[in-house]
Structure 1
Amino acid sequence: MSIGRFIGAVVLSYVLFAILYMIGGMFVYADAMATNAALMRSMDDPFIAFSHIGHLFQTMVLVWIFFSGFDTADVKKGAFFGLMVGVFMAGSNMVWMAGLNLNTAPLVPMIINDLVAFSAVGAVLAKVFGKPAATD
């Protein structure tokens, strides 16, 4: 994997995640997310930067895993790869939501958003950056 290919895939994936999570959080399930708004940090809080850095780290790992063991141009396989990572993320959300005393209204929409967003990113990684299967 070349560094340029890796960086390009990370940037594209990060932007796609930002768009998909913004659509989900601000439009699709905004009411559910609002149930815990009093517990959330203000977007003006400097600590919010760590959220963006954390998402960048997650995206870098996702792209590295894709290129290291799943590098395919098959969009369906890419979407399945993303779906499986989305299931992992959904499980993580279930764990921390169960451990914190929060309103659980956002849980199902968050899980759906994870599954959709990661499937879409996996499909895009395959389409744009995946290596075609070797032919005989």
Structure 2
Amino acid sequence: MEERWAVVGASTSGLFAALNLAQAGIPVDLYEAEVDWQPTPRTLIVTAEIERVFGENLNDALLNRISRFELVSKGAVATIMLREPDLVIDRARFMHLLARLAQEKGARLHFGYHLEAVEPEG
């Protein structure tokens, strides 16, 4: 029987772990408690490194680029210029991207499963 790895939880970290395992050729199953998995929409501000990792795949989740931050206090304004723009992405779209890429690499996603216990093998 084929030995498979298990990842628990379809959060960004769980999906990214499953994607990386699958890309490395390791058979992996991801288990998520939600039956109707719909990630909560919210925005994330991330560094440009994410674009180097995901390339054009990120376009569907990309909302904006930020090249500076402005801090305002009691009428004073300080501007912080960034060396390279930070990216504003849609978390739900990004999670769907991770799920799709993981499945394309061979990961199997299972919904409606709750982890109840972990027991040592042997």
The answer, yes or no, to whether TM exceeds 0.5 is no
Which structure has the greater CA radius of gyration? Answer: 2
TM-score range, shorter chain: under 0.3
Q: TM-score, normalised by structure 1?
A: 0.26
Higher strand proportion (structure 1 or 2) = 2
